[in-house]
Amino acid sequence: MKETIKPEVTVPQYTEVTVHNILSMRFGIQMAINRAVFIAFDAEFSGLGERRQAIRSESVATRYQALAKVAQSYALLTLGLTTFEPAPSTASTSSSQDATLEHPYVVNNFSFLLKCQKDFTVSSASLSFLADTGLDLSRVMRDGIPYTPGVPTPSDTPTSDDSMTNPEQCLRALFQYALSKRVPFIIHNGLLDICFLYEALYTQLPDTLESFVADLCEMFPGGIYDTKYIADFVDRENTSFLAYLYRKYEREQVTKKLKGEMHYLTFAPSQPLVVKASSKMAVTNGGAEGVQGKSSKKHRLYCEQFASYGYCKNGRNCPNSHNLDVILDCEENGSLKNMKKKLRKIKTEDTSSKDDGTTSPDSAGANDKEDTSTKTEDINMEVADGTAHDKAPGKKEQPYFNSSSSAITSHAAKSLPATTAVFEVYHSAAFDAYMTGCVFARQQLHHTVKGGNGVKEHVNKINVMGKDKPLLIQVSPWSKTSQRHREMTVRLNCSSNGGKRMSCASS
């Protein structure tokens, strides 16, 4: 059997945006947004609270109210934003066929460190996970960009003048600028991410789901794509947690390129906007890399729970391997077939037991990020932040923008072996946003090559955990936008000397 090619995992460099540098970086970020054909984002929070019953309610409206309460009680700590822009082909000029088959992107990756100006709740489980993944809450308080969630005061509304001198208004102005470009926004199981983003950088969340949907329809004129929904209900992937999809497609693109007969993707992450020294990321196995360790099941090289859900209750102390290459190799050899059938049965049994208060790894939350989040008996997901890049002491920040990096297949400035540490220890909103965008690019290419309109028919369909139908972001004749959204629209139009009211993207 032909050996599968295993490229190094891309862990892209990113520009860390803080209260100290956001003003100087504003135009560089706008340039990246301006050239983007789609934008992926991911958010990390201070916790999720007690949300069992409401989150698992059969009523999506009830679920939304529970999510809104979470977004209003906890804080947005980091926001990862990744822009994707088309790039010239790097294929050999002597082969026009290679140039036609290659689909290159230049990628710009940003991590916004945020500081909530209101009191907020932090869960103990999240604090532990934050410590494990490198985020220091004292640094959030010191370097985070301040923001005031909920209804903004008139002085909080971004204006062309104040956004040049006020970090919070600059942050809000960048968010509005991204929305104004009318390009698709990409999420992975990101309903809660959208709720936090709305509450933190726009205005107070509406009271009803109907108004929330109507607001989103106007806010995101380019539409929203959920890679989790496409993977589960369109592509029918056996497993759909983010890290799994990213690694699977990363290997797939290298294989296609070497065959020279199939369309493939390449990604070229740009250099950070500011030249600064970045400390090397600490990578430790922590006992999680258990290929050679003792297994609780004879001859079992991988953790069955992680292989199916992207989560393991033992975390880095699991004696079995969480290595995605081991899992994918076994899947390609067909050895995961029976195991996944068994886990689907267990999942069904766990779902049916929700009335007694038990929680299954894949059914407890409407927005569970199976691949990168910690989970406890009380909470299905706790959120943390990624590794921070510190600037060199005494080094003055000079913004620049460089998108001339040559495109390379699945390789960034930093590439690491596909160990557990990459996906479990190195956790950040920026990395997740990058993976989300890469997964979407593959989904879009796959369906475009097959014919038709690609994934356009799946726009504005957001995955809802435990449901076989998505939440549709579309105008309803029985609902209208919220009063606070209409007030924000007037404010923003006035601050920009007028403007066109955004309309919903057609599906």
pLDDT winner (highest mean) among 386-400, 432-446, 477-491? 432-446
In b/e form, how buried is each residue of 442-475, taking b as 16+ CB within 10 angstroms? bbbbbbeeeeeeebbebbbbbbbbbeeebbebbe
92 vs 464, higher pLDDT: 464
Q: Nearest Cα to 379, choosing from 66, 8, 37, 59?
A: 66
Inform me whether the pLDDT recorded for 446 exceeds 80. yes
471 vs 339, higher pLDDT: 471
pLDDT-derived band at 306 (thresholds 50, 70, 90) equals: confident
Q: For the residues 9-37, what does the mean pLDDT come to?
A: 92
- Distance, in Å, from the CA atom of 195 to the CA atom of 466, rounded to the nearest integer, reads 19
Instruction: Give per-residue pLDDT as tens, 188-204.
Output: 999 999 999 999 999 99
E strands in 389-505: 415-416, 461-462, 471-472
pLDDT of residue 493: 81
Question: What is the sign of the dihedral through the CA atoms of 194, 195, 196 and 201?
Answer: positive
What is the model's pTM?
A: 0.74
Q: Among 160-169, 241-250, 263-272, which stretch is predicted with the lowest mean pLDDT?
A: 160-169
Q: Does the 9-278+367-495 domain belong in CATH 3.30.70.100?
A: no
pLDDT of residue 496: 64
CA distances from 298 to 15, 188, 301, 317 (A): 45, 35, 9, 18
Instruction: Give per-residue pLDDT as tens, 83-107.
Output: 999 988 765 544 555 557 899 999 9
2 vs 59, higher pLDDT: 59
pLDDT of residue 359: 40
Provide the mean pLDDT of the chain.
77
pLDDT of residue 284: 31
pLDDT winner (highest mean) among 204-208, 264-268, 326-330, 499-503? 204-208
